[in-house]
Amino acid sequence: MQKPDWIAFDWGTSNMRIWAMSASGTVLGEARSDKGMGSLAPDQFEAALRDVIGAWDHAGVPIIACGMVGAKQGWIEAPYAAVPCPATPEEFSTPDAGDLDVHIIAGLSQADPADVMRGEETQIAGFLARNKNWDGVICLPGTHTKWAHISADEVVSFQTFMTGDLFAAISGNTVLKHSVNSEDWDNDAFDGGVADAMARPERLAARLFSLRAEGLLNGMQNGTAKARLSGLLIGAELAGAKPYWLGQKIAVIGAGGLSALYVRALAAQSAPATQVKGDAITLAGLTAAYKRFKG
Amino acid sequence: MQKPDWIAFDWGTSNMRIWAMSASGTVLGEARSDKGMGSLAPDQFEAALRDVIGAWDHAGVPIIACGMVGAKQGWIEAPYAAVPCPATPEEFSTPDAGDLDVHIIAGLSQADPADVMRGEETQIAGFLARNKNWDGVICLPGTHTKWAHISADEVVSFQTFMTGDLFAAISGNTVLKHSVNSEDWDNDAFDGGVADAMARPERLAARLFSLRAEGLLNGMQNGTAKARLSGLLIGAELAGAKPYWLGQKIAVIGAGGLSALYVRALAAQSAPATQVKGDAITLAGLTAAYKRFKG
């Protein structure tokens, strides 16, 4: 393998992906591991990085990293750039890493309502690198789904909904754990949940208990209850995020299943959204950040 | 101790309370244990009951029980009476218990929206036994808070909000677990959470994440975040339960702290509520059920 000109690094909570890159953007090599930020103490990051790039000639090669590696509990706390700000990362933090030339991309913060992101800013930059002069709203579904308003290559504002985190906590740690434990799925139940939550989002906690009661009284199947739970939570989010997406061009960035549900729920509101796979977008964002870093 | 005329039994998920009663309503003896329904297999209930009443002369004495002992996972599945129905229990289930004369009070169910209660119906009956001809709305705060519309000694309708269950799951099993772990409390933060959720209940999942961001960006204290979380969830519930409480006479039945928060949140909506302690109310409800049972 030829010596890389730079190394791109997506270091999240539960795993990491890394690419050896040429200056022109060719991927020379690729690796991944499950040594996510969540499993490492601050003094273990350097060794974990050396493990994964050990076979590559990395002498003097800049390593551009994004994600939770820059969180308070990560390697070094990278700052937040306050929105509104350019969508392409301009600030970097440099941990002490011997001869390794590591630069961690800053996250984004918002003063009011208070909000933060770390990692998604790189996906936003990647999407905009591939879609020049794109104005609209980007939705990044996940444990903490982000909605970002993009105009003139700036992130104007954003809002995080902890919908995925709620889904997991409700499914695993409330009375519903016996009601939604299933591999089955029911699109009609999902659609109904979205519609009900959009119409009366304030009834969420009552509709959740109804899933239990429907099982006891009417034999609702667990796959149906799970899909309805997902629909209720995503529908409540769409009701809250309406100032973001209403009348806007919408891109949904992320892995297949969950993003497809957001696209489906938005379509039911007559809000067409373009779904974009996240993997290549992250690398495009790291590439945009590297170019900015080089100046 | 004189021989009781009947025995009153509140058998919940996590513990049990039992009273030896005279026909005139005098409490002759009292016991409690942590052998709740949740810790017992169906074939262990009889022995658990014999343990706790062993010292009392119970030959031929009717034992009237309420609570989760009558749930699907309990001793015997007691039926549900469908609302609208009389507030004083009229249906009883009799498990096989040798020479013990046990009768478990039926729960309440509602067809649409699907809902169930088991235990709270006895507290409602007890409240009405002590407050003749009372019409209005009863709120029973807890893991699954119940709102019941009472008219002419009937339960007309009810709705369950799993607010307490959500509070526990969110506090213990989401990103907020590090943000709300505190013994402190902040009434202003609670009030602000109630007001914000009442005004825009659809933003709940975003406001929850803001608690995390406020901690990271502005150093919000955990006690403040915890109180605001509680306010957001109770405020969202009040928004959803508004058709119940708006313009109604309101009684809040339950243990001190949580019920006091509901009363406080309702007061902020100019909805005065009377707080009633739950313990004596349960026994009053079992007494009303016993009288109905005797016919």
CA distance A215 to A182: 13
CA distance B29 to B10: 14
In single-letter form, the type of residue at position A12 comes to G
- At A223, list the tokens: 């796959």
Smallest CA–CA distance, residue B142 to chain A, in Å, is: 13
Question: Does A6-118 match A161-276 in CATH topology?
Answer: yes
Residue A278 has pLDDT above 90, yes or no: no
Q: Please indicate whether, in this complex, the C-beta atoms of A209 and B162 are within 8 angstroms of each other.
A: yes
- CA quadruple A32, A35, A41, A47: dihedral sign: negative
* pLDDT the model gives residue A239: 98
Pick the CATH number of A161-276 from 3.40.47.10, 3.30.70.360, 3.30.420.310, 2.60.40.10: 3.30.420.310
Residue ranges of the domains in chain A? 6-118, 161-276
CA distance B46 to B16: 13
Q: Please indicate whether, in this complex, the C-beta atoms of B162 and A173 are within 8 angstroms of each other.
A: no
**Separation of CA A173 from chain center:** 24
**Separation of CA A85 from chain center:** 19
Architecture of domain B6-118: 2-Layer Sandwich (3.30)
DSSP of chain A, one letter per residue?
Answer: -PPPSEEEEEE-SS-EEEEEE-TTS-EEEEEEES--GGG--GGGHHHHHHHHHTTS--TT-EEEEESGGGSTTSSS---EEESSEESS---EE----TT-EEEEEPEEEETTTTEEESSHHHHHHHHHHHSTT--EEEEE-STTEEEEEEETTEEEEEEEE-HHHHHHHHHHHSGGGGTS--S---HHHHHHHHHHHHH-GGGHHHHHHHHHHHHHHH---HHHHHHHHHHHHHHHHHHHTHHHHTTS-EEEES-HHHHHHHHHHHHTTT--EEEE-HHHHHHHHHHHHHHHHH-
Chain A CB contacts of B200 under 8 Å are: 240
What's the whole-number average pLDDT of chain A? 96
Candidates A163, A165, A147; CA nearest to A155 is: A147
Residue B255 has pLDDT above 80, yes or no: no
Chain A CB contacts of B80 under 8 Å are: 217
* pLDDT the model gives residue B117: 97
- At B294, list the tokens: 């005797």
Q: Residues with Cβ < 8 Å from A123, sequence gap 6 or more?
A: A140, A253, A278, A281, A282, A285
Q: Residues with Cβ < 8 Å from B220, sequence gap 6 or more?
A: B179, B211, B214
Q: What is the mean pLDDT of residues B18-35?
A: 94
Q: Please indicate whether, in this complex, the C-beta atoms of B241 and A206 are within 8 angstroms of each other.
A: yes
Residue A255 has pLDDT above 80, yes or no: no
Residue of chain B nearest A173, judged by CA positions: B169
Residue of chain B nearest A233, judged by CA positions: B205
Q: What ipTM does the predicted assembly reach?
A: 0.94
| Interface residue of A80, A161, A162 to substitute, partner B, most B CBs within 10 Å | A162
Q: Which of B208, B212, B239 sits opposite A202 (nearest CB)?
A: B239
Candidates A175, A151, A177, A29; CA nearest to A83 is: A151
Neighbouring-strand partners of residue B154: B86, B151
Q: Which of B115, B214, B239 sits opposite A209 (nearest CB)?
A: B115
Q: Please indicate whether, in this complex, the C-beta atoms of A206 and B113 are within 8 angstroms of each other.
A: yes
- At B84, list the tokens: 């609208």
DSSP of A109-177, one letter per residue?
Answer: EETTTTEEESSHHHHHHHHHHHSTT--EEEEE-STTEEEEEEETTEEEEEEEE-HHHHHHHHHHHSGGG
Task: Identify the residue whose tokens are 């005065």.
Answer: B272
CA distance B80 to A143: 38
Q: What is the mean pLDDT of residues A175-180?
A: 96
Task: Answer yes or no: are the C-beta atoms of B187 and B219 closer than 8 Å.
Answer: no
Smallest CA–CA distance, residue A4 to chain B, in Å, is: 36
Q: B67-104: per-residue pLDDT in tens?
A: 999 998 899 999 999 999 999 999 999 999 999 999 99
- At B187, list the tokens: 């009434």
Q: Please indicate whether, in this complex, the C-beta atoms of B116 and A213 are within 8 angstroms of each other.
A: yes
Rg (CA), chain A: 21
Please check whether residue A202 touches B, CB under 8 A: yes
Q: Please indicate whether, in this complex, the C-beta atoms of B175 and A162 are within 8 angstroms of each other.
A: yes
Q: Which of B166, B217, B240 sits opposite A174 (nearest CB)?
A: B166
Q: Which of A201, A208, A236 sits opposite B162 (nearest CB)?
A: A208
Please check whether residue A143 touches B, CB under 8 A: yes
* pLDDT the model gives residue A61: 96
Please check whether residue B165 touches A, CB under 8 A: yes
In chain B, positions 86-125, which contact chain A (CB-CB < 8 Å)?
109-111, 113-116
In chain A, positions 210-249, which contact chain B (CB-CB < 8 Å)?
210, 212-214, 216-218, 233, 236-237, 239-242
Residue B123: Cβ-neighbour burial (10 angstroms; 0-12, 13-18, 19+): buried
Q: Please indicate whether, in this complex, the C-beta atoms of B209 and A168 are within 8 angstroms of each other.
A: no
Chain A CB contacts of B116 under 8 Å are: 212-213, 216-217
Residue A71 has pLDDT above 90, yes or no: yes
Chain B CB contacts of A236 under 8 Å are: 202, 204-205
Smallest CA–CA distance, residue B236 to chain A, in Å, is: 6
Residue B230 has pLDDT above 80, yes or no: yes
Please give the share of chain A, as a percent, with pLDDT higher than 70. 100
pLDDT-derived band of residue A279, with 50, 70 and 90 as boundaries? confident
* pLDDT the model gives residue A131: 96
- pTM (predicted TM-score): 0.95
Residue of chain B nearest A163, judged by CA positions: B205
* pLDDT the model gives residue B283: 96
